[in-house]
Structure 1
Amino acid sequence: MSIAVENVAYAAGKTIVVDGITLAVEQGKVLGLLGPNGSGKSSLLRLICRLRKVDSGIIRLAEQDIAAIPRANLARRVAFVEQQATTDTQLTVRDVVQLGRTPHRGLLSPWGVDDDLAVEDALARVDMAHRADQFWHTLSGGERQRVHIARALAQTPSELLLDEPTNHLDIQHQLEILSLVTRLGVTSIIALHDLNLAAMFCDSLAVLQNGKVVAAGAPQEVLTEHLIARVFGVRAHIERSAVHGRYNIQYAMG
């Protein structure tokens, strides 16, 4: 497995946030994390990239305990795109994306051709090359999100973690970004709210509730009308889409 989470627990003060979670992602596959607000999705992502320390359990990258991986090596390997990231510094779009190359460069290493190529490729992939010299703070919320995804791609990671990457994006760019992620061939875990996007783009799903995994498996196995009602509190009708062949979920009030 590329990423394996084994009975991991984490508490913030006296509040249990992640409660004995076990899940795994195969090399090159995309796992979607689903669940209502406060279910533990964001905290789990932070534990996987070691921004937070597990209270118990083990997280492995290719069979190696992340606690034993030097931080510099982990930073070269795992890229994390958070929900919201901001700065007051006057940075251009290219400046922000260039930050993705930091883990690959030593303290005295000169900027090289490989760095330029990685940055330009990342900008092109998220359709922001034409904004490369624009100041980051002048962008819309959706454009900023695309730039942060470009920063992660410039890092050339083997594992990619994304926390609500489609927030603030219009429908076209939601589809483009998730389609891009699935084509990368990079092991990815994506926290999502949109069940239809999860069904459309993810190889497998894990549904979290109150810090626990309550369902995991292929989208067609996990996304049932009963589970959606139990976890999300809404009635749903599920059918296979004639357009893309994946499940399509329609919601009903009351």
Structure 2
Amino acid sequence: MSIAVENVSFSAGSRLVVDGVTLTVPKGKVLGLLGPNGSGKSSLLRLICRLRRAESGVIRLGDDDIASIPRAALSRRVAFVEQQATTDTQLTVRDVVRLGRTPHRGLLSSWTAEDEAAVCQALDRVDMRERTGQLWQTLSGGERQRVHIARALAQAPAELLLDEPTNHLDIQHQLDILSLVSRLGITSIIALHDLNLAAMFCDQLAVLREGRIVAAGPPDAVLTEDLLKEVFRVQAKVEASPHHGRPHIHYLG
């Protein structure tokens, strides 16, 4: 397995936010992390990239316990795209994406052709090459999100974690970004709210409720009408899509 979470727990103050979570993501596959607001999705992603430390349990990347991986090595290996990221520094789009190369370069390293190619390719992948010289602060929310995804891609990670990456994106770019991630061949975990998008683009799904995994497996096994009613409190009909064969949810109210 490329990512393995084994009985991991984490508390914020007196509240247990992640409660004994166990999940695995095979190498090169995409896992969609689902659940209502406050279910622990963002906290779990931060635990996996060691922005927070688990109180118990083990998180492995391949055969390595993340607690034993040096910070510099972890930064080269794992890319994390947060829901919102901002800065007061005057940076161009290219400057932001160049930051993705930082883990691969020493303090005195010169900018290389490999670095430049990684940045250009990442900008092309998110359709932002023509905005290279534009100030990041002048972009729309959706455009900023695409730039941050480009930064992550320029990092050339082995594992990619994305927290609600389609927030603020129009439907075309939602589809483009998730289609891109699904084709990268990078082990990825994507926290999503849109269950139909998760079913379309993720190989496996895991559903969190109050910090616990309540269902995990392929989309057609996880997205059942009973689960939607119990966890998300919605009445819905689930059918195989005639377009892609995966589950499609019709909300009934």
- Secondary structure, counterpart of 1:237 in structure 2: strand
Partner of 1:236: 236
Shift of 1:21: 0.0
TM-score by length of 1: 0.99
Which residue type is aligned with residue 252 of structure 1?
A: L
Q: In the TM superposition, what is the alpha-carbon distance from 1:246 to its structure 2 partner?
A: 1.2
Query: Are residue 50 (structure 1) and residue 50 (structure 2) matched?
Result: yes
- In structure 2, the residue matched to 1:76 is 76
Q: Structure 1 counterpart of 2:169, which letter? A: L
Gaps of 5+ in 1: none
Partners of 1:26 and 1:241 in 2: CA distance: 25
Deviations 1:162-202 (A, max 9, x none): 00000000000000000000110000000000000000000
Shift of 1:245: 1.5
In the TM superposition, what whole-angstrom CA distance separates every residue of 1:40-76 from its partner, at most 9, and x where no partner exists?
0000000000000000000000011000000000000
Cα-to-partner distance string for 1:81-113 (whole Å, 9 max, x where unaligned): 000000111000000000000000011111111
For the pair 1:181 / 2:184, whether they are aligned, the reply is no
Aligned mates of 1:50, 1:135 — CA distance in 2: 30
Query: Which residue does the alignment assign to 2:13?
Result: 13
Give the alignment's TM-score, normalised by structure 2.
Answer: 1.00
Task: Give the aligned residue type for 1:138.
Answer: T
* 1:29 paired residue number: 29
Counterpart-to-counterpart distance in 2, 1:92 and 1:244 = 38
Aligned to 1:87: 87
User: Are residue 99 (structure 1) and residue 103 (structure 2) matched?
Assistant: no
**Once the two structures are aligned, what percentage of the paired residues are identical?**
74
Q: Secondary structure at the match of 2:20?
A: strand
Root mean square deviation of aligned Cα: 0.4
SS at match of 1:53: coil
Q: Once the two structures are superposed, what CA deviation does each residue of 1:100-150 show, in whole Å capped at 9, x if it has no partner?
A: 000000111111110000000000000000000000000000000000000
> How many residues are matched?
253
Specify the SS of the correspondent of 1:18: strand
Instruction: Give the Cα–Cα distance (whole angstroms) in 1 for the partners of residues 31 and 236 of structure 2.
Output: 22
